[in-house]
Amino acid sequence: MAELTQEEKDKIGPLIAPFSRSNKKPELCVIKDGESEIEPFINHLHDAASDEEPENVVHLKVEEVETLIANAGRFEEKCYLWIIDDKSIKMLKERTRNVKRTHKPNCICHTNLTGGEYARMGGEVFFCEDGRVFLNPFSDRYGGRNITDEQWEATKDYFKNVGYTSLVDIIELLQTT
């Protein structure tokens, strides 16, 4: 088990409501229909405190890493959304059908992982077939466009503590390409 310690909580940052780090107009910071339901997905939610990869994980192929970089760290087909709540990391495949989300029914969003509740951080993760785990903080609800470097480093450290030792920071990867 790698449940968050108080020290990790302090470093990663407080629990925040969806969009509360966002600078978007208030009318864009609204959870729409189907975006806060957690119940349909609860059985598929991966609690990364107790395991390393989600069940039936869809791996990123080694040759797809180039595509991931070319798209600035986005690759919806192989993407898992993650959040850190008060206890641990939760993950779910982004391409999970969510028919109540009328205008994007083939995908869930970060608030589906929290039921619209608070989280400390959010982003996307990709599990490569060679064992590397690619991580970014892309989430307009809980994520990191305006977090500090320290918060991002603490987030990555927590992922490593959980067991993702072959972590690759997509932001760093983009800096070197």
Partner 1 sequence: MKMANKLNLFIIDDQIPAIPEYVENLVYNTKLDAGSLKHLLKVAEWKGQHSLKRLTSDILRSDHAQSGDLSTYGFTHPSICLDEIDSGLQPDLIIYDWEYGSESNIESANLLIEILNSTKAFIFVYSLVRNEIPPFLNKLEFDAFADRFQLFLKGDTESSIFSSEEFILQYILTRLSKSNVIKIQGITVTFNENGYLNNPSDILHLESIFGRAFLLDRIKSIGFTWSEQNIENMLNNLDDKLLLDEKRSLLITPDSTLFISKFNPELEISLLEAFKRYGLLKVREAFETGIVKV
Instruction: Tell me the C-alpha distance between 71 and 60, whole Å.
Output: 14
Does 177 contact partner 1 by CB under 8 A?
yes
| Residue 132 burial class via C-beta count within 10 angstroms: exposed 0-12, middle 13-18, buried 19 and up | middle
| DSSP letter for each residue of 50-65 | S-SS-TT--PBPGGGH
- When the beta carbons of 1 and 99 are compared against partner 1, the nearer one is 99
For residue 22 the two structure tokens come to: 């966002």
Strands 121-127 and 133-136: antiparallel
Q: Interface with partner 1 by CB under 8 A: which range of 2-10, 81-89, 126-134, 169-177?
A: 169-177
Instruction: Tell me the C-alpha distance between 143 and 149, whole Å.
Output: 13
| Least spacing, CB of residue 101 vs partner 1, in Å | 9
Does 43 contact partner 1 by CB under 8 A?
no
Which of 13, 34, 54, 122 is the binder for partner 1 (CB under 8 A)?
34
Which of 25, 43, 56, 63 is the binder for partner 1 (CB under 8 A)?
25
Task: Say if residues 78 and 126 touch (Cβ distance below 8 Å).
Answer: yes
Does 160 contact partner 1 by CB under 8 A?
no
Phi, psi of 80 (to 5 degrees): -115, 130
Binding mask 59-78 for partner 1 (x = CB under 8 A): -----------xxx-x----
Q: Interface with partner 1 by CB under 8 A: which range of 57-65, 103-111, 113-121, 159-167?
A: 103-111
Which stretches of the chain bind partner 1, using CB under 8 A? Answer: 23-25, 27-28, 32-34, 37, 40, 70-72, 74, 97-100, 102-103, 105-106, 137-140, 143-149, 152, 171, 174-175, 177
